[in-house]
Chain A
Amino acid sequence: MKVDKKIIVRVLAIVLSYALITFLLRMGLLNRQYTALLIPIGVNIMLAVSLNLVTGFLGELSLGHAGFMSIGAYAGALFSLHVEMPALPSILLAMVIGGVTAAVFGFLIGVPVLRLRGDYLAIVTLAFGEIIKSVLNALSFTNGARGLSKIPLNANYEHYTIVFIAVVITVLVIANVVDSRHGRAVCSVRDNYIAAESVGIHVSRFKILAFVIGAFFAGVAGAIYAHNVGIIKPTTFDYNQSIEILVIVVLGGMGSIKGSIIAAIILTALPEVLRGADDMRMLLYSIALIAMILINQSGFKEKLLERFHSGKKQKAGE
């Protein structure tokens, strides 16, 4: 019964959010500025949820998520640029190719860094992201620093259904993996890898698993990004992009998929919402970020909830 309830809530959430987006778009309630935010929000949800698998559930700080995103973006874009195809199969294939290529790199980077933990792993993933950037800059078929342009806009807001489905699949797959024997093994590695080994968990296997799944969906997100913007350059996927994804994950809460989704929506929309403030925009953005983390993480929220609950109880008692 409990499982059924969870499924019903999930289905409702999916249907309602799709209906809401469709309604807002069809009724023309969103201006151009907000319409343009839809796909980036989806992309950031995918990036944040997939990074959360590595950082929140596996417990390894990865600062190279933008690297996987760029691999997916370039692989997907190169495919669309070189292969003529109708829009729908083309974008689907581009997403799959982007994801698989990124996953292969996730495996390649995963194997050597398995021996590292914590700070060291973070530095290596950071370096990995920078290497990818440099390589994309140097190669001729990626068009060097000029990047790729005129990528067909097969994943812009007009194709929001495809992106929406991709986001739903990402979230469901990662949520399902986390809530399974494989996911428990991943979490056990985070909580205590020595104990995990002692109960028969092959630690390296699950580190790689988390890395590869995380990289796959970052790659798919990258492909969507490329087909939304139409132009990609190596500098788009720099260290700042990785940090931005990490900020979303931290704000939403390590190991909370729901939190990552909400944080991705807020943090993607916030800079646009604050555009009216002009010069003060980035300042306000930073202050809002600090305030949100303080509220979320300092126990203030718990106090508030406690007061709320005890107030309700008192009312019920009367």
Chain B
Amino acid sequence: MALLEVKNLGIAFGGLKAVDNFNIAIEKGELYGLIGPNGAGKTTVFNLLTGVYQPDTGTMELDGTDLVGKAPADICRCGIARTFQNIRLFKKLSVRDNVKVALHNDVEYSLLASIFRLPSYFSREKAMNEKSREILEVFGLEKYENAYAANLPYGKQRELEIARALATEPKLLLLDEPAAGMNPNETAELMETIKLIRDKFDITILLIEHDMKLVAGICERLTVLNFGTELASGETSAVLNDPKVITAYLGE
């Protein structure tokens, strides 16, 4: 069975069917791309998968767990983490603390332990620091550890968002336009990083992207959305050469 199984997913905002009859099945370890013109409903799909919106129709299952009706925080615990199209970092927290927030459910101690500074506070905080450093090192962000997240350069902020998502130890990582606003060099670097984290953290990745070079370079399979419905899906090269897809992007 696939890791993520979505069937007949749909949501309407007023009269607008933002996503309609959307199906996807992602196998474990896969690098899957979700593409489509602006306003096609890609981010809405992400918001449905992470519980920001509740679907009107359809089912979503991650590893056999039903995701419909769950709150975003609970879906995170089920094993889905995400990044955002418009970066959403905890700007007034340090880079390290951004990752440590994501470790919240993983390394626990009680409120009393923090008020009275019990030994468990110190040992768990130490574990958190080590763990966050490990994750930051993957992205070479450890030298910025104490800087405010808001003061990082743009590309680093994107990476920090991915690092923060990885800290929740997800089974499935959703990346919403990870290469947006990056120059070609940064994009090439990002492609390597995405492949690296898939292998290193042994996770499955679903990504939204407009940069076709990146999509063609790393995604194994694709689904193309247009006006909220699926236009095509399958092997990357086949989909990208599909006349329907080319028409959707470039017009007749």
Contacts and interface: CB of A to CB of B under 8 A. Distances in A.
A16 interface: no
Given A181-B104, A181-B109, A191 B71 contact: no
B164 interface: yes
B231 to A, nearest CB: 28
A179 B114 CA distance: 8
Given A191-B89, A192-B88, A201 B117 contact: no
B65 interface: no
Nearest to A209: B111
A200 B93 contact: no
Q: Size class of B's contact patch? A: 35 or more
A188 B108 CA distance: 17
A201 B124 CA distance: 18
A185 B124 CA distance: 16
Interface in A155-211: 173, 176-177, 179-185, 187-188, 190-192, 194-203, 209
B114 A201 contact: no
Interface stretch (B77-85, B235-243, B244-252): B77-85
Given A184-B97, A201-B104, A192 B89 contact: yes
A180 B104 CA distance: 10
B101 interface: yes
A195 B124 CA distance: 23
Nearest to A194: B88
A176 B122 CA distance: 12
Contact of A197 (B76, B92, B116): B76
Interface in B19-50: 50
A40 interface: no
A192 B73 contact: no
Contacts of B77: 200
B105 interface: yes
Interface string B41-75: 00000000011100000000000000000011100
A198 B128 CA distance: 19
A199 B79 CA distance: 10
B2 interface: no
Contacts of B125: 180
A190 B111 CA distance: 19
Contacts of B121: 180
Residue with the greatest number of chain B CB neighbours at <10 A, chosen from A173, A184, A190: A184
B208 interface: no
A255 interface: yes
Nearest to A169: B115
Contacts of A198: 50, 72, 76, 81-82, 84, 88, 165
Nearest to A206: B104
A187 B167 contact: no
Given A180-B114, A180-B121, A184-B104, A197 B93 contact: no
Interface of A: 3, 173, 176-177, 179-185, 187-188, 190-192, 194-203, 209, 255
6 contacts: A194-B52, A195-B84, A195-B90, A198-B81, A198-B82, A199-B164
Given A181-B128, A195-B89, A199-B101, 10 more contacts: A176-B117, A177-B111, A180-B125, A181-B107, A185-B104, A188-B101, A192-B88, A194-B88, A197-B71, A202-B73
